Amino acid sequence: MMRLARLALVMASTLTFASTALAQQQPDTAQMSVGEISNQIATLQTEYDNFSDTVATLQREEQQLREQLQSLRERNRELEQQRQAALEEMNNRYQQLVDDPSIDIAGAQEAYKEAVMAHQQNKEDIKTQVQLVSAKSREVEEARVSKHSLINEIETLKDQRNVARVERLQSEFNRSGELEVSQSIVCDREETLSQCETRGKLLAKQKASKQYLEQTLADLSEPELARENLDRVSPNVQILGSKTVSDGFSGQGNYGVKMGVELRGQLPQSQACTLLDIDTRYCAVKKTANNGKADEQVVDSSVMHPLTIRSNVYDDEVMIDGVSYGSTPIEVMLPGGEHEVEVIKYGYSTYNDVIKLKDAQSIRAELEKSEYSFTRGEKIQDILYRDVRGPELVVVPSGKFKMGDLVGNGLPNERPVTTESIERPFGVSDTEITVASFREFINDTAYVTEAEKNGSCAALESGTPKFDDSMNWRNPGFSQSENSPVVCVSANDAKAYAQWLTEKSGYNYSLPNEAQWEYAARAGTESDFWWGNDVGFGKANCRNCGSDWSNVSTAPVGSFQRNPWGLFDTVGNAWEWTQSDNGFVVRGGAWNFAPSLARVSTRMELPEDFSSNYIGFRVIRAQ
């Protein structure tokens, strides 16, 4: 027993050291170069890879402790039988002593004493072993959350590396330098010598500009990538000054000039991301005044302008900057500046446009009927009992799709890509299950979640795993409304909720399997996010994604735009439980996880009894 106790102490110390080391390894990346951040990522990636072995080792040790506990319990039954036998023998000896006082009963007494002591010691060993099993189980949970923290920090560092790449590119491109160039031209018969000289010097400056751009591109830290994307941007070279080193005319009417030219590269910040082929959110353009004028044309945001929107369909939905304004035709007053306009109707392609509003403007949105046409029966909401209704469902059609990392940005467990078939249409809750919906289930059944029973809801605080006995779906560690996604629920809790829906409605509810979830989340697309390969800014609730809730808490469901098939929050907010061939997997990313982990193909395998304040779920219903 002492050996096991020492082993538990060593493992607990190891995990504490790992968590502390992780916290200490978060440097001020704003002061780090791209190479230094890359080295930090490589270090953490090695730790992440090793953590898989750590979790597996801890699980084996937990199983060994449980087996030892079972052996002690079986031993307890044997010792109880031995104690009973010793007691019976001693009682027999006492009876014989009454008839024959010369009989020695000391041996029987000693045997009974030893049997009692062995039984009591075994009980103490069982008590100690139960504590060791409990401690080891908690170590396993902490190791799992530490692993989540590591992958989250890795992806966050990748974001920070992209910021550093942009800053490095800007520094390398927008630098000043000097070139000396020579230019010879043949003077035109119709131009004067002065005109020929002016033309020759102009051509020399153009030559210098071209050479400087070529030299700048060659000297970049990522020249190959920049050249691949050069045709998508419009970098400039500014001539700061020039001087003639030598010039002169030949007898044949030729003019030659050698010039020293001072130049500076000019790459707009908004184009740096395009040149590096990364998400434009890393290159937010800040307009700064220059002698009363902005670097770019400034639109007065204090002036309101009318915007009229019409479409070729009825019963559609107009979204402006993520806010619904109802159906077309509409006329709204908006401040001057850029606005994102979307017109949505189920069964039709979505109209998207970004406008710069600086006067009255009209838009005519043309929506085309999509391959998957929904009827007015596309929305389903079952009555459970009295006036209580189930979650609102959206019908997803049958079909085939490519599943996995289609773009090449994914993790190893997202490959290989496979073609999956969805044989039958199904209904899927258009939002993650809310606190209010889960409360109806609890009130009707008196169900107690695993986190409430075991105090096992996990959280990440500054990259360190935390378990708080007071944290559960009612109190996940941050403020939630009734319309927020329920979290701190395990896959077992989610299955119990789905079973309750089945019993109350008479229809078959369940958690989606991985293929059903990804099919519905993709909504016919083949990009990392249903709107494209860049997460953008303010489009979802994930770490550093630009929403009011990013890295703070979950957002109320439906706070962001639906995907083309009518589902909210398939990107970020809360990871969602799904069923896989080998157990349970969470999908979709969360409010405190990096954007790259919210891609549609990202997957994280977890045991069905795991709970955390960044995991919720949605349900499906068979037709």
Mind listing the pLDDT tens digit for each residue in 228-266?
998 788 777 788 888 999 999 886 678 899 999 898 888
For residue 281, pLDDT over 50 is answered with: yes
Are 544 and 162 in contact by the 8 Å Cβ rule? The answer is: no
Q: 574: helix, coil or strand?
A: coil
Burial of 499 (0-12, 13-18, 19+ CB in 10 A): middle
Using CA atoms, how far apart are residues 90 and 102, in angstroms rounded to an integer?
Answer: 15
Of the candidate ranges 300-309, 332-341, 451-460, the one whose mean pLDDT is the lowest? 300-309
Q: How confident is the model at residue 148 (pLDDT cuts 50, 70, 90)?
A: confident
Q: Which residues pair with 338 in a beta bridge?
A: 356
Strand 457-461 to 611-612 pairing: parallel
pLDDT of residue 11: 30
Helices of type H across 315-466: 435-445, 450-454
pLDDT tens figures, 608-619: 999 999 999 999
Residue 370 DSSP one-character state: P
Question: CA-to-CA distance for 577 and 586, rounded, in angstroms?
Answer: 5
Looking at residue 56, the DSSP 8-state letter turns out to be: H
> If DSSP codes are grouped into helix, strand and coil, which group holds residue 390?
coil
What DSSP designation does 36 have? H
Structure tokens at 103: 């009989």
> How far, in Å, CA of 166 to CA of 93, rounded?
92
Q: Indicate the range of 261-265, 287-291, 557-561 predicted with least confidence.
A: 287-291
| Structure confidence at residue 25 (pLDDT) | 39
More confident of the two residues 386 and 588: 588
| Long-range contacts of residues 115-119, Cβ cutoff 8 Å, at least 24 apart | 115/79, 115/82, 115/83, 115/85, 115/86, 115/87, 116/83, 116/86, 118/79, 118/82, 118/83, 119/76, 119/79, 119/80, 119/82, 119/83
What per-residue confidence (pLDDT) applies to 289? Answer: 38
Mean residue pLDDT of the chain comes to 85
Residue 291 confidence class, pLDDT cut points 50, 70, 90 = very low
DSSP state of 204: H
User: What are the tens digits of pLDDT across the range 388-401?
Assistant: 889 999 999 889 99
The answer to whether 485 and 574 are in contact (CB under 8 A) is yes
The pLDDT score that the predictor gives to residue 292 is 39
| pLDDT(273) > 60 | yes
What mean pLDDT comes out for the span 322-331?
77
**498-510 mean pLDDT:** 94
In tens, the pLDDT along 295-311 reads: 444 454 445 566 889 98
Question: Is 200's pLDDT higher than 70?
Answer: yes
Split at pLDDT 50, 70, 90, the class of 109 is confident
In CATH, 378-622 is 3.90.1580.10: yes
Q: Which residue has the higher pLDDT, 371 or 246?
A: 246
pLDDT higher for 436 or 55? 436
Sign of CA dihedral 29, 34, 39, 42: positive
φ, ψ at 605 (rounded to 5°): -85, 135
- Residue 332: is its pLDDT beyond 90? no
CA–CA separation, 543 vs 609, rounded Å?
A: 25
244-249-251 Cα angle (round to 5) = 165
Does the pLDDT of residue 505 top 50, yes or no? yes
Q: Where are the domains of the chain?
A: 2-161, 175-294, 304-365, 378-622
Mean predicted confidence (pLDDT) in 202-229: 87
Confidence band for 465, pLDDT divided at 50, 70 and 90: confident
CATH of domain 304-365: 2.60.40.10
**Candidate from 110-124, 286-300, 435-449 with smallest mean pLDDT:** 286-300
The mean-pLDDT minimum among 327-331, 373-377, 534-538 falls in 373-377
**pLDDT score at 616:** 98
Instruction: Assign 372 a pLDDT band (cuts: 50, 70, 90).
Output: very low
Tens of pLDDT along 572-622?
999 999 999 989 999 999 999 999 999 999 999 999 999 999 999 999 998
Amino acid present at 550: S
Look at residue 412 and give its three-state secondary structure.
helix
Mean pLDDT within 10-29: 36
Peptide bond into 425 cis (omega under 30): no
> Secondary structure of 207-223 in the HEC alphabet?
HHHHHHHHHHHHHCCCH
**Tokens found for residue 397:** 């059609």
Q: How confident is the model at residue 30 (pLDDT cuts 50, 70, 90)?
A: low
Average pLDDT over residues 169-192: 87
Q: What is the pLDDT of residues 414-423, one digit of tens each?
A: 999 999 999 8
End-to-end CA distance of the chain: 56
Place of tokens 């068979």: 622
Task: Please tell me the least confidently modeled range out of 373-387, 492-506, 527-541.
Answer: 373-387
DSSP of 166-198 = HHHHHHHHS-EEEEEEEEEEEPPTTS-HHHHHH
User: Quick check: helix, strand or coil at residue 364?
Assistant: strand
- Identify the pLDDT of residue 615: 97
> Six-digit token pair at 602?
């990202």
Residues 345-363, mean pLDDT to the nearest whole number: 81
Rounded Cα–Cα distance for residues 322 and 533 (Å):
19
User: Mean per-residue pLDDT for 49-68?
Assistant: 89
Q: What's the mean pLDDT in 64-83? A: 92
- Supply the pLDDT for residue 99: 83
Judge whether residue 15 has pLDDT over 60.
Answer: no
Judge whether 584 and 608 are in contact, CB under 8 Å: yes
Determine the pLDDT at residue 437. 97
For the whole prediction, is pTM greater than 0.75?
A: no
Q: Compute the distance between CA of residue 209 and CA of residue 91 in angstroms, rounded to an integer.
A: 111
Residue 463 confidence (pLDDT): 74
Pairing outcome for strands 418-422 and 583-587: unpaired
